[in-house]
Structure 1
Amino acid sequence: MLNIKLTFALAAAQIPLAGAVTSSLRPWAFSPLPLGSVKPGGWLLGEMVAMANGLAGHEHDFYVYVNQSSWLNTPGKGGSEYSSLNEALPYWFNGLVPLAYQLDDDRLKAQVHDVADTVLGYQATDGWIGPEVGDARNFWSRTPFFFGLTQLVEADSSWETRVVTALRRFMTLANKMLHNNSQGFASCPGYVDCTWGQARVHDLIITIQWMLEKYPSDQDSLLWENMNLFYAQTNYKWADWYTEGVFQEVVNPNNASNFPYIHGVNVGQGLKASSVIYRMTGDDDMVTKSQNAVDWTFQYHGSASGSVLADERERDLAPYIGSELCTAVETAYSMAYMYQVFGDNSYADRAEKTIFNAFPVMMTGDKWAHQYMDQPNQPFALNIIKSDGSVPQVFTTANSGVATTYGMEPLYPCCTVNHPQGYPKFVSNSWVMHEGGLAHALLSPSTVKTVVNGGSVTITCDTNYPFSNVLKYSINADKAFTLYLRMPEWSNSQMSTLSQSGASSSRLTLDADSETGMTKIFVNPGKTTVTYIIVAGVRTEQRPNNSVAVFYGNLLFALDVGFSQTSSLPHGYYDPSGPGISGLPFPELRDYYVNSTKPWNVAIDPSTIRYHGVSSIAILPDPIFEQGAPPNYMTVDGCEIDWPLYLGVTPDVPPLKRKCIGQRKSYKLVPYGGAKVHMSDLPTIRF
């Protein structure tokens, strides 16, 4: 059985793992930079400013699960929470800290400072951090809150002493709880669900590893013991799941014993679990299990947009299966983290794919509204509640009838509070240190300021990537250093070029490392300009039932099905059929119901695809992922086919037997992130 008996887990806790022997974390392939070292630029800055001006940046002003959270009250006195997990404020805090500092936004900084000050002020005398008292204490929601605290320390050293002291006190208490029959972790009273903290414990271990690396102390042996105890005592080890004969290619979503392993957000977080444990133990089997996690998950449960199909539970690859917004942000972070640990180029490509496609498609351009679920084939984002109140059971659990509509909280509020981490975590992890040099890992417009070889380095990357594939780097360095630029796996290495001018001038030869994708450039002191041109072509990836997904670079393209929308007052997730919530302080808060206006039942001939690009110096629309905003597109020949609806409300799997029922026509494909209704798993036909 996958679920290890608690008694066995506690016994195993007494067996030291490799990490306890070596007391040294395995080194990063690419070391992360502190929060604030990297700032967004270009279109990415526009997207993040929209988030700050939209829902994410105003939740502290009105959203009760944030500004009336139990975390902001005397422990045990309660507050507004959507579940007993008390995760809303921690989720929000984890995303708002990097958003505030990357934008240097004083209003948002004041919000996170106020929250950090209040929560730390309520730390219990025994070290517990959070609103729970007595047997209600459990570990899960500390994980995202601690992520926020560690980022706050990196960005603002004035918080260092207070936060590190608080975390050390907490870890001392955690050690006692783990030794006390795994209190609050694997052993909880019936009214407390401990499975979330166990399935996601690797993210808590990341905070412990941060403490060991950044603030070594005489507490280190206790921190090592905590890591070992957490991993030994969890009943849900992702390395066990990603084992031949255990992992399920097609899942029965009703099998409750598998739930922690098939819940989409758990999967997004769990992708990196074995890489976290590898840093602790050095066990080479964790490298294999990490690769299995990525390869198998995306082969059998992945969307072309870069996320995990699970609504909320995995099944298979049917294009009507949904994927949570929370899953997208967790998947992107896991891929970025795994690239830093192992240096596998495919992980960086996947992080970009998720952020450029799966993430932005689920938000309106102004970022005031978002989806709970996105489907690969989604020509309608409508309220499907029938007049008698019944709802077609399209999804495994998310069947409120409004899961794909856009709004304040179109279903469970977790995505309302968790989605703000998407872009900021991507920016934080986009530049990294590598072999004494500085590396651009996740390609995007940005500016990095750091110290390399004892000298100050500032690099600004001006680019419209991924809308065009030309990146221009303006470098100012006090001392000579090595710059590394990543070449994506999908690029044409023979045709891509690098050129350098300024302090040193030369034509460079691309010779990317086969594992990391990094190409090395030696940069002299002074000012230097490097121009990096990545050559790519249209490519297709196979999808189920003789269908394909169409890409140019790391952008997924979808059939343009048109766009028409209506709106209403925002609804609470608990009352999707009511009149909506009036009296909210921001008129931008609306729910949106989006329909298609063009045929969606189209098969295409991929041999006829033609790409229409955008100049590398073009001024892109802002925000770029507004409906219909991206200027690049494709044309393709195709025709309408007979294609039934699943449960009468959404396209079924593409029919294997297909023939044209209309004339051959030219159709338009547009970037997925700017197509709020879309078809991306497209059946093929030959003319």
Structure 2
Amino acid sequence: MLLDQKTTGFAAMRRGPRRKRGFCIDIMVAFAAAVALTVLYVNVVTWAQQPTLVPWAIPPIPVGSIVPSGWLLGEMETMAQGLAGHEHDFYDFVNESRWLQPAGTGGTDYSRLNEALPYWFNGLVPLAYLLDDERLKTQVHSVARTVLDLQTDDGWLGPEVLSERNFWARAPFFLGLIQLAEANSTWRLPIISALHSFNTLANSMLHNNSQGHRVCPPNFECYWGQTRVHDLMISIQWLIDNQESTEMEPTLVENMHMFYDQSDYKWDKWYQDGTFLKVVDDPTTTNPLYPYLHGVNVGQGLKASAVVRRFNHDDSLIAASQRAVEWTMSYHGAPSGTILGDEIERDLSPFMGSELCTAVETAYSFAYLYHSIGQNGYADRAEVVIFNALPVMLTGDHWAHQYLTQPNGPWAAINNEDYNHPDGPFLFTTAHSGRATTFGMEPQYPCCTVNHPQGYPKFVTHSWGYVGENGLAHLFLGPSKVSTPIATVECDTAYPFDHSLRYTIQSAEAFDFYVRVPWWHDGGSSNITIGGVTSRLSPDQTTGLHRVEVPAGTTEVTYSIGASIRMEERVNGTVAVFYGNLLYALDVGSINSSSLPHRFNDARGTGLDSLPFPQVRDYYFNNTKPWNVAIDTSTWEYHGVPSGVDLPKPIFDYGAPPNYITVQGCEIAWDLHLGVTPGPAPANRTCLGARSTYRLIPYGSAKVHMSEIPTL
């Protein structure tokens, strides 16, 4: 429109009047032309000055500048010593990946999507660099070098031959590449060069009838790439923000517009009244809306509108992002912060499953949303997922994980009904092996085996940000250290197990230091102390950031967050219980047994007995205490971390966290759904016996649990 206006305006001025007019009319025309030219000039200047991308609300800090400490360091070290840190040593979908062979010459993957190695790479790059782990660095360097060396002459990156090219798996691999470029400057130029070549090819493919995006190989579902294309756009935007030259910028911008315009699935269009489904009556893969209902797609899609807004400058997408999060979590959200979808969304039933992949993707989306839009609620949501939904699905030693977990799952054992009756009815919408809630190397589909390592590392890399020209902010609270040109800040804390944070700050000059204040904080008992002066918190109403002026030199800051037990209402008269951003679940006890690990496509086999790591096992958990309990919320009492007690490592193992809640309650009659798992809480809550004292423990440590608890 602007170019049309410009052409019309200047052309009319060149042509001049076509017929004789009166003096007054000429004056009026001249005046109108002057006004039009002034408006045009302002529009042109505004267009020229407008940045290509909408600036971050809170700019992130490059990978490698933030490192974990305390319990976060312990969890990430355990991850590196567990399954995630050893997949490259033995796991065929990683070390024998098709990505590591010339296109079409061999290798393996669990599907034609060729996503296994990209998922692994996306998580292992930040894990390796945040831990400064040379063994893991060697692995990711080897993979990066091999893949870049195998880039085809026309620019394609990946194992697909010409007739099988599609864009999806590039997205997670490129996310890994841009993290590597930030963490290690020697990789910066090779990665930028490779991504430039790829985007030149992508531009021609999109111009050629949308090859690889809307037009895919035979028997290949294009919707995977379309529903997740915003993750590919993130790497394009990184190029625009970080490349030395602007020569490629028009191509990169055009690519983003074409990726969006040519997609049949647009998340901002899905989250509209009359379109979005609050309840899914047809939770099957044949439902035409299936791509919008797949839990992992939804978790990734929460940030889609914010990604698109960065290049199309449409601020209505801020509201679209809000709708996406609020509607999804209201109608399909778990109390642990993740999304209920097993793999397909249905409703809020407490027996529904949620994928481990969904947890880590949802956490990343919330982190992205906070940095891009700056609304405090997204940061709290990111913390809730990482402190609850992620750790509950991992064994303490990180050698085994679940494919699906349930809000109410008092056992994580083989579902014999699914296992022995392949014709159904089934507990979950797609995961029918009977092993989906057990813990193992591949308790169901392998995507979560390779995708889960991104959880903690990306939380840490997004946990600090810049504010303005001279500000540094702690966003996602927890123990860590950040080193920037502004200052070096170390946070010593047991948060979220304790709500006192102590900062040691070193800076050459005075600067503005910010801490994020959670939405649930108690204003009367929350404060911050600097230089011996204690003051109340006055956080920004949008970002939740509280500012303090820090002088040059070494400064100590103590930040205390007041909290109390709170509950969130769930379906059927149940509640989820929180203290801060930790969810608490009924302690149902825990006992486990194990067996040889099973492959996802051989759930009924004898198991693998030749793996080089004996730690790889399948685990089956059962409760040892009553699960059918209703509680009296007027009786609960919080028991915090005792003074001077160090948190154990690992922290998210059963019995490890020292904090808990006691509450009075009793056992009630409660039926099983399909005979295998607790059904909806009953309306009749008559006590079956005398009331007793029950304990609620941090959900992430309770591998078997009840988190939606009926009240008396």
Tell me if TM exceeds 0.5. Answer: yes
Residue 376 (1) aligns with residue 407 (2): yes
Residues 306-345 of structure 1 deviation map (CA, whole Å, 9 limit, x = unaligned): 0000000000000000000000000000001000111110
User: Out of 668, 682, 689, which is 1:655 matched to?
Assistant: 682
Aligned to 2:65: 37
* 1:70 partner letter: R
User: Out of 449, 455, 459, which is 2:483 matched to?
Assistant: 449
C-alpha distance in 2 between matches for 1:142 and 1:22:
30
Deviation at residue 403 of structure 1 after TM alignment: 0.3
Q: TM-score, normalised by structure 2?
A: 0.91
Residue 419 (1) aligns with residue 447 (2): no
Aligned to 1:238: 267
C-alpha distance in 2 between matches for 1:681 and 1:507:
39
The 5 Å alignment of 1:58-137 reads 58-137=86-165
Q: CA distance change for structure 1 residues 388 and 371 in 2, over 3 Å: closer, same or farther? A: closer
Aligned to 1:398: 431
Contact 1:39 1:447 (C-alpha < 8 Å) held by counterparts: yes
Aligned to 1:11: none
Percent of residue pairs identical: 58
My pick for the range that moved more, 303-312 or 275-284, is 275-284
C-alpha distance in 1 between matches for 2:279 and 2:601:
31
Residue 561 (1) aligns with residue 588 (2): yes
* 2:297 partner letter: N
Residues 403-445 of structure 1 deviation map (CA, whole Å, 9 limit, x = unaligned): 0000001000000000000000000000000122000000000
Residue 605 (1) aligns with residue 638 (2): no
Contact 1:555 1:671 (C-alpha < 8 Å) held by counterparts: yes
Residue 268 (1) aligns with residue 299 (2): yes
User: Out of 516, 528, 532, which is 1:486 matched to?
Assistant: 516
Aligned to 2:615: 588
Contact 1:199 1:236 (C-alpha < 8 Å) held by counterparts: yes
Contact 1:310 1:324 (C-alpha < 8 Å) held by counterparts: yes
C-alpha distance in 2 between matches for 1:429 and 1:439:
11
Contact 1:20 1:224 (C-alpha < 8 Å) held by counterparts: no
Deviation at residue 164 of structure 1 after TM alignment: 0.5
C-alpha distance in 1 between matches for 2:495 and 2:400:
25
Q: TM-score, normalised by structure 1?
A: 0.95
Deviation at residue 370 of structure 1 after TM alignment: 0.2
User: Out of 477, 480, 492, which is 2:507 matched to?
Assistant: 477
Deviation at residue 479 of structure 1 after TM alignment: 1.0
Residues 5-55 of structure 1 deviation map (CA, whole Å, 9 limit, x = unaligned): xxxxxxxxxxxxx99995621111100110001000000000000000000
Deviation at residue 618 of structure 1 after TM alignment: 2.4
User: Out of 639, 642, 650, which is 2:669 matched to?
Assistant: 642
* 1:152 partner letter: L
Residue 227 (1) aligns with residue 240 (2): no
C-alpha distance in 2 between matches for 1:392 and 1:53:
39
C-alpha distance in 1 between matches for 2:587 and 2:307:
41
Residue 209 (1) aligns with residue 237 (2): yes
Aligned to 2:322: 291
Deviation at residue 194 of structure 1 after TM alignment: 1.4
Deviation at residue 385 of structure 1 after TM alignment: 2.9
C-alpha distance in 1 between matches for 2:622 and 2:376:
38
Deviation at residue 615 of structure 1 after TM alignment: 3.7
Residue 511 (1) aligns with residue 538 (2): yes
The runs of 4+ residues in structure 1 deviating greater than 4 Å are: 18-23, 386-389
C-alpha distance in 2 between matches for 1:509 and 1:565:
47
Q: CA distance change for structure 1 residues 450 and 541 in 2, over 3 Å: closer, same or farther? A: same
Q: Secondary structure at the match of 1:451?
A: coil
C-alpha distance in 1 between matches for 2:220 and 2:292:
19
Residue 145 (1) aligns with residue 179 (2): no
Contact 2:642 2:658 (C-alpha < 8 Å) held by counterparts: no
Deviation at residue 508 of structure 1 after TM alignment: 3.0
Highest CA radius of gyration, 1 or 2?
2
Aligned to 1:498: 528
Alignment length, in residue pairs? 661
Contact 1:36 1:101 (C-alpha < 8 Å) held by counterparts: yes
Q: Secondary structure at the match of 2:484?
A: strand
Unpaired stretches in structure 1, ≥5 consecutive residues: 1-17
C-alpha distance in 2 between matches for 1:425 and 1:290:
20
Deviation at residue 175 of structure 1 after TM alignment: 0.1
My pick for the range that moved more, 347-356 or 613-622, is 613-622
Aligned to 1:327: 358
C-alpha distance in 2 between matches for 1:546 and 1:565:
31
User: Out of 288, 303, 306, which is 2:337 matched to?
Assistant: 306
Contact 1:468 1:616 (C-alpha < 8 Å) held by counterparts: no
User: Out of 271, 275, 278, which is 1:249 matched to?
Assistant: 278
C-alpha distance in 2 between matches for 1:188 and 1:209:
24
Residue 342 (1) aligns with residue 373 (2): yes
Q: Secondary structure at the match of 1:94?
A: helix
Residues 163-198 of structure 1 deviation map (CA, whole Å, 9 limit, x = unaligned): 100000000000000000000000013222211000
Contact 2:523 2:536 (C-alpha < 8 Å) held by counterparts: no
Residue 521 (1) aligns with residue 555 (2): no
C-alpha distance in 2 between matches for 1:102 and 1:508:
34
Root-mean-square deviation (CA), in Å? Answer: 1.4
* 1:325 partner letter: L
Q: Secondary structure at the match of 1:86?
A: coil
* 1:549 partner letter: A
Unpaired stretches in structure 2, ≥5 consecutive residues: 1-45
Contact 2:386 2:459 (C-alpha < 8 Å) held by counterparts: yes
